[in-house]
Each structure stands twice: as C-alpha cells, then as structure tokens.
C-alpha cells in the first residue's frame, strides 16, 4: 500500500492569503478614514457649540452694558423732568415725568433679570420701601402740580427725605447694574476658560484617538505585510515546486545544482546526478487513465524520498522522469547504492485498493566534475546514460561513457532528421510480394518503408525504425506511409491485398483503429483488402489491450497476422486467447531449414498447429527453390522472399503486372 508518511506537505494556493491581506488593508484604510471623520466632526461640533455660547455670553454682556446706561439715563431724565415740572409747572414736563416712571421700572426689571439672583433679591429688598415712598412722593408732587401747588411740589421733591431716598435707590441701582455687568463678564470669562479647557481636552483626545488609530493601522499593516510576505514565500515555493508530487521542479533543480556544484568545488569532492525514468508508466496511464497515473507519480515521489539521504537533492524533471543529486563525500559507491535502492523500490507493485500496477525504473548516472562542469551538461549526459540503460533492457543502472556519447548524439540527430523526413515526404512505400506456394502466384503485398535520405541515400528500415519507435514517431510514420500506399493500391489487381506492420507502441494508442479506417475511407480502399501484422512483443506488453485492438480490427473487416512467431515469447496462450488469420514463420527457421533438423521440426510444428487452428502460415525469407519446395511439402501456404521478388516501388510492380495477367512469377533457375 502507498505510504504517505514521507509525503511532502502540499502547498496551499495563495489566492485566499492575498484576498485576506487586501481585506485587512481595506479595514485599516476604512478605520483611518472613520477616525479622521470622527475627529473632524467632534472638532466642528465643539467649535460650533463654543462659538454659539461665546456669542450668547457676549450678547448678554453687551445688553447689560446697554441696560446700565439706559438705567442711569432714565433716572437722570426722571429727576430732571420732576424738577423742571415743579419749577415751571409746565404740563409737558409733567407728562414726560409720567412716561419716565414706568420706563424706569421696566429698565430696572430688565437689569434685575440680567443680574445674579442674589443681587436681584438684594436690590429688591434694598429698594422696596424707598421705591414705594418715592413713588408716593412722585404721585403727591404730580397731584400738587396738577392743582397749582407748584411750591408744595417743589418743596416735596427738594426735601432731604426725597434726596435721601433717591440716593438709596440710585446706589442700589448702581450696585444692581454693576452686579449684572460683573455676572455677564464672569460668564464670558468662564466660557473663554471653558473653551480653552475644551480645546485642550479635545487636543488630548485627538492625540489619543490618533495614536490609537495609528496603533491599530500599524497593527493591520503589519498583519498585511506578514500575510503578503507569507504569500510571497508560498508563491516562490509554488514556483519552485512540482504541484503534483510536491518535489522541486526543473527550475529549482538547476538553481540547487549550481549551489551544490559550487560547494563541491570548494570542498573538492564529487557529485553524482541520477536520471530516473519509469519503465512501464505509459501503459498504466493509457490503460487506467491519468488519475491513476497521477497517483502512481505521487507514490513514486514518496518512495524516492525514502531512498535518498538528508543532504541529497530530489526533483521531478518532467513527465515520469526524476533527478537525484547525490553528494559523494562518503565515497563514490554511495551513488550506485542509491540507484540500486531506487530500482528495487520502484520494482515493487503499487496498490490502490483492488488495483495493482507495476512500473519499475531505469537509472542513468553522470558525475561532477569527472563527466561535466555545468548543470545542463551533467543532466544531458545522465540522460545519455539513461538511454543506454533503457536499451540494455530496462530496470538497470548505466554510467555515462564519453565514447558512447557521440553515438547518442548521432541518434538524436537522426531522430530530428526523421521528424523532418516524415513532414517532408521522404519516407516512401516499397512492396514485396507474398505468393501462394502451390500456384506460385501473388496473393498480397507487404508494405515496407524506405527513407530517401538527401545525404545518405536510400535507407532500409533497420536504420531508423527503432529510432521512430523510441521517439514516438512510429505512429505518424505508419499513417503517412499507409496513406501513400492506399493511393497505390488502387492501381493493383483487384484480388491483391496489402499487409503492413503495426509497432507494439501503437497498440497503446486508442485512436489507432479509427485513424486506419479514416485513411482507408479517404482513399476508397475497403478494409477487406488490408491485413495488419502484430509482433509477439505487442502482445506481451499489454495482452488485454492487444486483444481489444485485434477484435476492433476484425470487426472493421481487416485480417490480423501474428508476425515473427517462434522468435519471441511464443506463448500458446496468445493463439488460444486471440483469433489470428495468419501466422508468420520467422526467416531464421527458413534460413536454417536444411542445415538444422530442429528448424524443420519447428516449422512442421508451427504448420501443424496453424492447420489445427484453421489458420494459414506465411514463411519469410525464402531465397532458394529448395526452401520453397521444402516449405510446400511441410504444408506452408504462403511465402515471401527474394526468390519471388525484392521490395520495389509501386511503378515497378505495375510494369511487371503488365507483362503477365496475374503476375505469375517464374522461379529462379
């Protein structure tokens, strides 16, 4: 079962962190704005209230001044009017005196209202009797003047008692006005002092509130800064990590390798770069889907983590490739030991519930500074060693060898040229006849490929087919060749059929059969004229997938041939599980048919087995009449080889077809 204890923690997305930081920043800004608005409103309110109060107090003080002046003036006017009325007896002065009496009373009342309550009460107590007596004396004087007793009125107004009472009232009035003025002045001073106090208090409150807001804003900004730094750190980790496995990615690998190489130069020790590639990952991915493939990669990453030491570097290089950089301070054998451990761990089955898959791994190794001095060169040479490990049969370790590097470079160059050749139409179809041994007449043609290389000339398949299969170009190559052949097949005699080989790697392509049918339909070639040849290797790699492809081909109307029977795994279970139409006998048995008795026995056994299954046999590599007659005696149905014709272009076949109606080939003498 997969072990998750060593799995690196998955990196969380940073979107929520950034959004949270933005929210904190917005709250900080809103808080600062709210605080500024609150301080402004308080200051405006205080200024408005203080201004209104100061204005009211000033108005009251001014009113007190006016009343004091009015009171003095009214008293003087009243005394003068009384004296002039008494002296002259003029009715105008009497009327004036009569009007000034209630006016003085009203003015005195207003002054009392402005004065403090205790001053007003004291004024009332001091002037109650004197005011009442003076009022009676005024009335008496007015009555005397009205009846012509001016001398009596004058004597009354000029009497000592009148003067004494008037002085008492005037003194009390002065005290009242003074008290009013002092009270209003004190109120103004109180409001002024209060304004200063309120201003000082507001200033302190503003400072305190501003300090509180600053602290809160600073705290929010600090939190935002921390969140942003955390987000930045996570983003950097995401940028340097593989999202699926959590291992370092290719960019982080190069940075870390440069640091390790710089340290290795200083300490004068070596590093080993291990390029690890899974052996059977693509079939797992194709058969079970990418979700299972991702689960396999995660489990591989966990197993690799347990294979390396604390100071070693581990990264996912891409696809199903991983890189391990081993510090060889403990000895040069450490890297080889690590590689062998990795291969052992990867060979163990991986189980997900009821599903069990097996992959395995191959490892290529290059060393610093023995093999290269830069990270790119080390990785390239480790990849070169990995390629040889794959060629050697997979599941092994290969060390980089400089003498083989040129060969790999040539192969890479050939791969690029092949890619261009497919696109440029340099790959052309050749055809070799397959004849009926009993009648010696052509029944079908095998489609073969030749490469018209612009420099190297005409290349046979053994020079480039392996490169096409390893590089994944075999699919485009096959489809391009088949499309050209379908245009040729219209020129062949109607009974002729055409066979072509499908590589093991193409079996894993789910679009294989639809692609074939599309090409046939585009060229109006019926599927019944097509025979597809499969090798035993294709069956071994994925038997279930091969079975489904065979059924799909036969349902489409094509026939299927088992190619090179007897040279590979040759399990009879394939013949029992899958329905083939023909079995091809490999040329190695035909070539030694007369030299080795065992070969004749094997051919006889294959023919007998095919006959019991109701399947025809085709012998490859027939070059002599003696071989042809021996195969015919053993019961072989069809044959192909140089005896009957070499691979040629379609035009050459057409020329030969014009010479004989059914292209009956005469055996070579």
* CATH code of the domain in which 381 resides: 3.30.70.270
Boundary residue ending a domain (204, 223, 242):
223
Point out which residues pair with 364 in neighbouring strands: 275, 398
Query: Residue 17 has which token pair?
Result: 């962190």
- Is residue 257 located within the same domain as residue 200? no
406 part of a folded domain: no
Q: What is the CATH number of the domain that holds 473?
A: 3.20.20.450
Q: Where are the alpha helices (DSSP H) in 496-640?
A: 504-507, 512-522, 536-541, 543-556, 572-577, 587-591, 597-613, 625-634
Residue 206 has pLDDT above 90, yes or no: no
Q: Are residues 343 and 475 in the same domain?
A: no
Does the pLDDT of residue 666 top 50, yes or no? Answer: no
Query: Range with the lowest mean pLDDT among 5-14, 228-237, 387-396?
Result: 5-14
Looking at the domain assignment, is residue 507 inside a domain?
Answer: yes
pLDDT at 378: 94
Specify whether 511 is located in the same domain as 653: yes
From its phi and psi, is residue 360 left (phi > 0), alpha (psi between -120 and 50) or beta? left
Residues 6+ apart with CB under 8 A from 561: 499, 531, 532, 533, 534, 580, 581, 582, 583, 584, 618
Q: b/e for 410-444, b at 16 or more Cβ within 10 A? A: ebeebbebbbebbeeebbbbbbbbbbebeebbbbb
659 pLDDT above the threshold of 50: no
| Band (11; pLDDT cuts 50, 70, 90) | very low
Residue 400 near residue 385 (C-beta atoms within 8 A)? yes
**Looking at residue 212, what is its pLDDT?**
76
* 328 occurs within a structural domain: yes
What's CA 131's distance to the chain center, in Å? Answer: 100
Greatest C-alpha distance within the chain: 192
Best CA proximity match to 138, nearest among 176, 173, 102? 102
Classify residue 426: in a domain, yes or no: no
Identify the helix (H) or strand (E) that includes residue 321: strand 321-327
Among 128-137, 299-308, 471-480, 547-556, where is mean pLDDT lowest? 128-137
| Ordered alpha helix ranges (H), 268-401 | 281-288, 290-307, 333-347, 375-391
Say whether both 386 and 442 belong to one domain: no
From 383, 400, 417, the end of a domain falls on 400
pLDDT at 497: 92
Calpha distance 236→3 (Å, rounded): 28
d(CA 334, CA 554): 54
474 in the same domain as 377: no
Rounded to a whole number of angstroms, the distance between the first and last alpha carbons of the chain is: 68
Give the residue from 529, 526, 519, 475 showing the smallest Cα distance to 498. Answer: 529
Position 374 in a domain: yes
Neighbour-count burial for 271-302, b at 16+ CB within 10 Å, e otherwise:
bbbbbbbbbbbbbbbbeeeeebbebbbbbbbb
Residues 511 and 622 placed together within one structural domain of the fold: yes
Of 371 and 663, the structure prediction assigns the larger pLDDT to: 371
Same domain for 180 and 37: yes
How far is it, in rounded angstroms, from Cα 600 to Cα 602?
5
User: Do 25 and 132 have their domain in common?
Assistant: yes
pTM of the model: 0.51
Alpha-carbon span 100 to 81, nearest angstrom: 9
- Upstream peptide bond of 164 is cis (omega within 30 degrees of 0): no
Structure tokens at 406: 């040129």
Is residue 197 in a domain? yes
Are 159 and 282 within one domain? no
Count of domains for the chain: 3
- Do 44 and 192 belong to one domain? yes
Q: How far apart are CA 296 and CA 273, in angstroms?
A: 23
Q: 413: pLDDT confidence band, cut at 50, 70 and 90?
A: confident
The DSSP letter of residue 495 is T
Mark whether 360 and 470 lie in a shared domain. no
Residue 528 — very low, low, confident or very high, per pLDDT cuts 50/70/90?
very high
- What is the secondary structure of 122-186 as a DSSP string? HHHHHHHHHHHHHHHHHHHHHHHHHTT-HHHHHHHHTSHHHHHHHHHHHHHHHHHHHHHHHHHHH
Is residue 172 a part of any domain in this protein? Answer: yes
- If you count DSSP H runs as helices and E runs as strands, how many of each does the chain have, helices first? 22, 16
Q: What is the overall mean pLDDT for the chain?
A: 80
* Alpha carbons 324 and 306: distance in angstroms, whole number: 12
The verdict on residue 216 lying in a domain is: yes
Residues 94, 56 within the same domain: yes
Domain range for 356: 250-400
* Residue 444 in this model has a pLDDT that exceeds 70: yes
């Amino acid at each position: 079962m997969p072990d998750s204890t060593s799995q690196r923690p998955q990196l969380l997305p940073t979107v929520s962190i950034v959004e949270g930081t933005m929210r904190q920043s917005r709250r900080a800004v809103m808080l600062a704005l709210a605080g500024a608005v609150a301080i402004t409103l308080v200051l405006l309110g205080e200024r408005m209230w203080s201004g209104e109060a100061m204005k009211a107090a000033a108005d009251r003080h001014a009113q007190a001044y006016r009343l004091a002046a009015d009171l003095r003036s009214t008293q003087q006017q009243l005394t003068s009017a009384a004296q002039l009325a008494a002296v002259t007896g003029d009715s105008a002065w009497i009327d004036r005196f009569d009007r000034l009496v209630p006016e003085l009373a009203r003015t005195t009342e207003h002054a009392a209202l402005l004065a403090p309550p205790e001053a007003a009460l004291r004024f009332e107590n001091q002037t109650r009797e004197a005011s009442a007596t003076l009022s009676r004396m005024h009335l008496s004087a007015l009555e005397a003047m009205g009846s012509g007793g001016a001398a009596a009125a004058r004597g009354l107004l000029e009497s000592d008692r009148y003067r004494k009472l008037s002085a008492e009232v005037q003194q009390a009035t002065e005290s009242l006005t003074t008290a009013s003025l002092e009270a209003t002045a004190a109120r103004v001073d109180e409001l002024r002092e209060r304004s200063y106090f309120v201003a000082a208090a507001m200033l302190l409150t503003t400072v305190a509130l501003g300090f509180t807001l600053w602290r809160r804003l600073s705290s929010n900004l600090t939190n935002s800064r921390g969140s942003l730094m955390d987000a930045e750190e996570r983003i950097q980790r995401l940028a340097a990590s593989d999202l699926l496995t959590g291992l370092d990615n290719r960019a982080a690998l190069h940075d870390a390798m440069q640091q390790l190489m710089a340290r290795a130069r200083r300490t004068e020790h070596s590093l080993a770069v291990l390029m690890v590639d899974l052996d059977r990952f693509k079939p797992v991915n194709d058969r079970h889907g990418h979700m299972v493939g991702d689960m396999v990669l995660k489990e591989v990453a966990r197993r690799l983590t347990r294979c390396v030491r604390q100071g070693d570097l581990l990264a996912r290089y891409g696809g199903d490739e991983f890189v391990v950089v081993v510090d060889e301070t403990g000895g040069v054998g450490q890297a080889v030991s690590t590689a062998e451990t990795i291969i052992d761990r990867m060979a163990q089955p991986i189980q997900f519930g009821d599903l069990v898959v097996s992959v395995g791994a191959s490892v290529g190794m290059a060393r610093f500074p023995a093999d290269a001095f830069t990270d790119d060169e080390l990785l390239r040479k480790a990849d070169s060693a990995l390629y040889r490990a794959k060629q050697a049969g997979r599941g092994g370790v290969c060390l980089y060898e400089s003498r083989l590097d040129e060969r790999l470079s040539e192969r890479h160059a050939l791969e690029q040229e092949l890619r261009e050749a497919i696109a440029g139409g340099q790959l052309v179809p050749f055809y070799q006849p397959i004849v009926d041994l009993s009648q010696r007449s052509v029944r079908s043609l095998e489609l073969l490929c030749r490469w018209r290389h612009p420099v190297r000339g005409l290349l046979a398949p053994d020079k480039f087919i392996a490169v096409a299969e390893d590089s994944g170009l075999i699919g485009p190559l096959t489809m391009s060749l088949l499309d050209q052949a379908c245009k040729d097949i219209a020129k062949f005699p109607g009974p002729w059929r055409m066979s072509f080989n499908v590589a093991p790697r193409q079996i894993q392509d789910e679009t294989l059969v639809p692609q074939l049918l599309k090409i046939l339909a585009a060229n109006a070639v019926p599927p019944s004229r097509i025979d597809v040849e499969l090798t035993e290797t294709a069956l071994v790699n994925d038997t279930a997938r091969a079975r489904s492809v065979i059924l799909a081909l036969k349902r489409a109307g094509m026939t299927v041939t088992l190619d090179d029977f007897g040279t590979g795994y040759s399990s009879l279970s394939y013949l029992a599980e899958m329905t083939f139409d023909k079995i091809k006998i490999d040329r190695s048995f035909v070539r030694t048919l007369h030299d080795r008795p065992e070969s004749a026995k094997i051919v006889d056994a294959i023919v007998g087995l095919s006959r019991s299954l109701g399947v025809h046999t085709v012998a490859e590599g027939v070059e002599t009449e003696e071989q042809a007659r021996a195969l015919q005696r053993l019961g072989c149905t069809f044959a192909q080889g140089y005896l009957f014709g070499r691979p040629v272009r379609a035009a050459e076949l057409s020329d030969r077809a014009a010479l004989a109606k059914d292209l009956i080939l005469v055996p070579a003498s």
